């Protein structure tokens, strides 16, 4: 497979697929494709895995697109202004990503549930108690809200991240929740009460425009219903 990502801040990834090669995607993610791309909808691994994907923020069914009779082309566009990143999944390089960030992947990549080991990280970290785990091997495309910043953390090195800004991390990283020190900082600093602390080793991807932050910014400007 060959691919190209163009068009930020409203990006699209165009994949050129070898004959017989299959890509998987969530329902409704395909934007355009060549006529020889055959679509098949399935639970892709059985009802157990399908339910797991549903609880992690994706749909119960997945679509499989296979190039028939020659090279095919298929494109997947981002659903929100931001970035599309291609990740190489393989042994020792599983990725943990935010819910609903999965866009498409080679068929050899597996999407499953990932539970935060510490309850506090799930309840207060903004990334959610349930995230998505990408394993297997191959290329996967994920959506990032806004611009993507990548950092490589050394063993024991930490990054303090505000709620919702953590988009992805390698499975070797860990995350926990720390309270903002000082009551005045908590209630008048404007940064909230909790921060997510990610500890290496591993790579992290941060995003500059979380959907939840955009929604909170727009709330004061939305019309209110009157009786």
| pLDDT band (50, 70, 90) for residue 49 | low
Percentage of the chain modeled with pLDDT above 70: 78
Percent over 90 (pLDDT), the chain = 56
Mean pLDDT, to the nearest integer, of 7-24? 95
- If one compares 216 and 47, the residue with the highest pLDDT of the two is 216
What is the radius of gyration, based on Cα positions, of the chain? 19
Q: Tokens in use for 194?
A: 């909790």
Closest CA to 175 of 94, 134, 87, 115: 115
Question: From the centroid of its chain, how far is CA 58?
Answer: 10
b/e 36-52 (16+ beta carbons within 10 angstroms → b) = ebeeeeeebeeeebbeb
Q: Is the pTM above the cut of 0.85?
A: no
179: confidence class by pLDDT, cuts 50, 70, 90? confident
End-to-end CA distance of the chain: 57
User: Where residue 185 falls among pLDDT bands split at 50, 70, 90?
Assistant: very low
**pLDDT on residue 145:** 94
Domains of the chain plus CATH, in order, are 2-212 (3.60.160.10)
Which of 132, 131, 130, 116 is CA-nearest to residue 177? 116
CA atoms within a 13 Å half-sphere pointing along the CA-CB vector of 196: 27
What integer pLDDT is reported at residue 57 of this predicted model?
A: 52
- pLDDT, tens digit, 9 for 90 and up, residues 103-150: 999 999 998 887 665 544 444 444 455 788 999 999 999 999 999 999
With the C-alpha atoms ordered 57, 63, 64, 67, is the resulting torsion angle positive or negative? negative
Per the model's pLDDT, the better-predicted residue between 52 and 90 turns out to be 90
How far are the Cα atoms of 14, 37, 69, 91, 223 from residue 145, in angstroms, in the given order?
19, 29, 37, 27, 25
pLDDT of residue 44: 57
- Cα distances (angstroms) measured from residue 77 to each of 19, 103, 207, 212: 22, 8, 18, 20
Instruction: Answer yes or no: is pLDDT of 224 > 80.
Output: no
For tokens 């921060």, name the residue. 195
Chain centroid to Cα 106, Å, comes to: 15
Residue 66 has pLDDT above 50, yes or no: yes
**35-48 average pLDDT score:** 77
């Amino acid at each position: 497979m060959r691919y190209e990502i163009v068009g930020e801040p409203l990006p699209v990834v165009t994949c050129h697929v070898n004959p017989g090669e299959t890509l998987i995607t969530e329902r409704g993610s395909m934007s355009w494709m060549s006529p020889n791309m055959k679509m098949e909808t399935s639970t892709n691994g059985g009802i157990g895995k399908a339910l797991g994907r549903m609880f992690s923020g994706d749909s119960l069914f997945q679509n499989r697109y296979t190039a028939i009779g020659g090279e095919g082309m298929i494109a997947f566009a981002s659903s929100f202004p931001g970035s599309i990143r291609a990740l190489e999944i393989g042994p020792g390089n599983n990725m943990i990503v935010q819910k609903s960030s999965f866009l498409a992947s080679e068929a050899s990549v597996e999407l499953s549930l990932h539970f935060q080991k510490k309850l506090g990280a799930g309840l207060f970290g903004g990334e959610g108690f349930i995230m998505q785990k990408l394993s297997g091997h191959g290329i996967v495309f994920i959506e990032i809200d806004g611009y993507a910043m990548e950092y490589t953390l050394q063993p024991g090195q930490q990054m303090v991240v505000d709620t919702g800004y953590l988009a992805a991390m390698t499975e070797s990283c860990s995350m926990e929740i720390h309270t903002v020190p000082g009551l005045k900082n908590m209630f008048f600093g404007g940064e909230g009460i909790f921060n997510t602390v990610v500890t290496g080793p591993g790579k992290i991807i941060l995003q500059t425009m979380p959907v939840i932050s955009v929604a909170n910014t727009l709330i004061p400007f939305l019309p209110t219903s009157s009786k």
